[in-house]
Structure 1
Amino acid sequence: MQLITYSIVYPLLWLISRLPWKLFYAFSTGIFFLVYYIFRYRKKTVTNNLELVFPEKTPKEIKRICKEFYRHMCDMFLEMIKSISISNDEMMRRFKVTNIDELRRLEGNGENIMVFMAHYASYEWSNVVDIQTDFQAVGIYKKIDNKYFDRLVHKIRARFGSRVVTTKDAMKVITEDQSENTGPYMYGLVSDQSPKIYNAFYWTDFMGVKVPTFIGAEVLARRLDLRTYYLQVEKIKRGYYEATFVPITEDSKNSEEYSIVKKYLRLLEKQIKNKPEYYLWSHKRWKHRNAEIPEGATVD
């Protein structure tokens, strides 16, 4: 059944990826109309999330952010599909790294880095870094149930040189990389999801709400003494982004416990408060806010 689904869907995805840009975004507008007005995909979740973290905003303001979010979400997911066929030159023209010289300096020194990422603006196109540096980018992700679509994710990212590692294998693979000393490596981990309650070891405020937070990227960075950065992606206009590698710490090993993840969250919060429509509000990020905090967990 998985193969049948993939065999039907993939040709459609490929055709969409080949659309000229004007037609591509016209198609995205059509998808937005269906998702927002007809199917109302997770609309209750989106609205509840916005009302929770922005209690000061009026219903009219919440509705505007909600609508603009759905427009952006449709663009973003279709842009992921565009990655199937987009050229290197086009990718670099549409997703620019503002401080690429800093990366080249680190690369020249043979330094390995951990990059905290977020579901903000465009995170899939960040593999443009692979085209412009000699870093071996390694993306850490949650495995997709459909093995054929999982392979497609690998194929898309491999086009630009990235390796893809599942969260289950991340610790083992990264530790092996460091012991072999074959870098430089750049490890990217989206760290703003909600962990399973049994993995909720650290609770802190995110957008003013106490919730559990992923600490895997910090644990890896501290254990292996990796420089840490936040990939701050801003949407300039439709189909165009700029990314800046914002330093978090140069001394992960000796940093105060949880200080790295706290700084990451503060940087992300600043972006969200500035332009909330570009965050992925359809995720149930705050679902554990009223849960009982497990015994032994750290609460900040």
Structure 2
Amino acid sequence: MSAPPNPTAAPAYPWYFQPLNWFLVGLASLPLAVLYGIARLLYWLMAYVLRYRRQVVMENLRNSFPEKSGAQIDQIANDFYWHFAQVMVEILKLRTLSAAEMRQRVVIENPEVLARLFAENRQVLTLGSHTGNWEWILPSGAVLFPGLVTGVYKPLMNPFFEAFLLELRTHLGAKLLPMKSTLRDLLRHRGQGRALSMLSDQAAGPEDQPYWTNFLHQDTPFYTGADKLAAQFGCAAVYVTIRRVRRGYYRISLTELHDGQTMLPPQEHQLTEAFARLLERDIQASPSDYLWSHRRWKHKREVRS
């Protein structure tokens, strides 16, 4: 019997991308202290020169925080650009970061939540979003639980960046799984204690049959994959919060949403609603740490007469 295809194998890319690869790996080899100097430049360019997606950022913030003044919204926007610049260089640093340094920089406060579910041979959906440094969640989990953490991701069209990000994300032992292979993977590993790490955002379109709820003062469509997978495969579910303690250091906390032992009717969307409320809490607690530069409210609910 032939071996199954390896979804994390880096695809080939044209030779002319190789200088870019050398350049990025060289940058990633620099100390974080130096990379934060580069982040200062990135912040200045995004916030004041390029004004990167400024209109989208400001619209999202005004609609999400109608109680805040114009000056407060401006401050959150500027803080977001500084946060985003730091995250960009921290993500790049993943390419050369050691497991020992990852353990120092990211502390999981209550790993026993996952350890118990793994001991019960539960497949666990870990649900996070683009808050804090979202790219450090998967590798920190892989360092703490070797061989038990897989990230679900959407492959990129560009072959170089697909290969580079695959290498970056799996550098510390995490596995990656293309989104379209999720069902097959859950079937193959049924009855095995492991985690599937999923980043979700409220940008589901009509074709996704989203769950609508009030989120940050707006009618918002959420993806409902967690509800469906938990019902179909008896998965447990855990919400993941990552917060910056200081520059380059984070703390992760885990909130168990479902133990996998009882059936949750997927049509009631209990997991998605719980996820929305916890994410809303985290954003309100630290507004600048969320990724505001995407059009997360571009879809509107259809009003039927």
TM superposition score normalised by structure 1: 0.91
Stretch of structure 1 that moved more, 10-19 or 75-84: 10-19
Residue 163 (structure 2) pairs with residue 132 (structure 1): no
Query: Is the contact made by 1:134 and 1:184 (CA closer than 8 Å) also made in structure 2?
Result: no
Q: Where do 1:40-79 residues align within 5 Å?
A: 40-79=51-90
Return the alpha-carbon distance in structure 2 between the equivalents of residues 21 and 131 of structure 1. 20
Q: Where do 1:10-25 residues align within 5 Å?
A: 10-25=21-36
Q: CA deviation at 1:253?
A: 4.8
Q: CA deviation at 1:245?
A: 1.2
Return the alpha-carbon distance in structure 2 between the equivalents of residues 253 and 173 of structure 1. 22
Return the alpha-carbon distance in structure 2 between the equivalents of residues 294 and 221 of structure 1. 30
Stretch of structure 1 that moved more, 54-63 or 139-148: 139-148
Q: Which residue of 1 aligns with 2:157?
A: 145
Q: Which residue of 2 aligns with 1:176?
A: 188
Q: Where do 1:79-98 residues align within 5 Å?
A: 79-98=90-109
What is the RMSD of the two structures over their aligned residues, measured on CA atoms?
1.9
Residue 271 (structure 2) pairs with residue 260 (structure 1): yes
Q: CA deviation at 1:109?
A: 3.1
Query: Is the contact made by 2:204 and 2:210 (CA closer than 8 Å) also made in structure 1?
Result: no
Q: Which residue of 2 aligns with 1:298?
A: none
Give unpaired runs (5+ residues) of structure 1: 296-300
- The verdict on how the C-alpha distance between 1:200 and 1:293 changes in structure 2, with shifts beyond 3 A counting, is farther
Return the alpha-carbon distance in structure 2 between the equivalents of residues 7 and 211 of structure 1. 42
Identity of aligned residues (%): 26
Return the alpha-carbon distance in structure 1 between the equivalents of residues 32 and 106 of structure 2. 15
Return the alpha-carbon distance in structure 2 between the equivalents of residues 294 and 75 of structure 1. 44
User: Secondary structure of the equivalent of 1:110?
Assistant: coil
Residue 50 (structure 2) pairs with residue 39 (structure 1): yes
User: Secondary structure of the equivalent of 2:19?
Assistant: helix
4+ residue runs over 4 A deviation = none
Query: Is the contact made by 2:150 and 2:177 (CA closer than 8 Å) also made in structure 1?
Result: yes
Stretch of structure 1 that moved more, 81-90 or 189-198: 189-198
Number of residue pairs matched by the alignment: 290
User: Secondary structure of the equivalent of 2:157?
Assistant: coil
Give unpaired runs (5+ residues) of structure 2: 1-12
Q: Which residue of 2 aligns with 1:8?
A: 19
Residue 125 (structure 2) pairs with residue 114 (structure 1): yes
TM superposition score normalised by structure 2: 0.89
- The verdict on how the C-alpha distance between 1:193 and 1:77 changes in structure 2, with shifts beyond 3 A counting, is farther
Stretch of structure 1 that moved more, 38-47 or 138-147: 138-147
User: Secondary structure of the equivalent of 1:246?
Assistant: strand
Q: Show CA shifts across 1:247-292 (max 9, x none).
A: 1121475224201110011001001011100000001111113x53
User: Secondary structure of the equivalent of 2:14?
Assistant: helix
User: Secondary structure of the equivalent of 1:168?
Assistant: helix
Letter in 1 for 2:157: D
Return the alpha-carbon distance in structure 2 between the equivalents of residues 5 and 39 of structure 1. 27
- The verdict on how the C-alpha distance between 1:11 and 1:113 changes in structure 2, with shifts beyond 3 A counting, is same
Return the alpha-carbon distance in structure 2 between the equivalents of residues 272 and 23 of structure 1. 29
Q: Show CA shifts across 1:84-110 (max 9, x none).
A: 000111111111100123333333333
Query: Is the contact made by 1:107 and 1:133 (CA closer than 8 Å) also made in structure 2?
Result: no
Stretch of structure 1 that moved more, 212-221 or 39-48: 212-221
Return the alpha-carbon distance in structure 2 between the equivalents of residues 196 and 159 of structure 1. 33
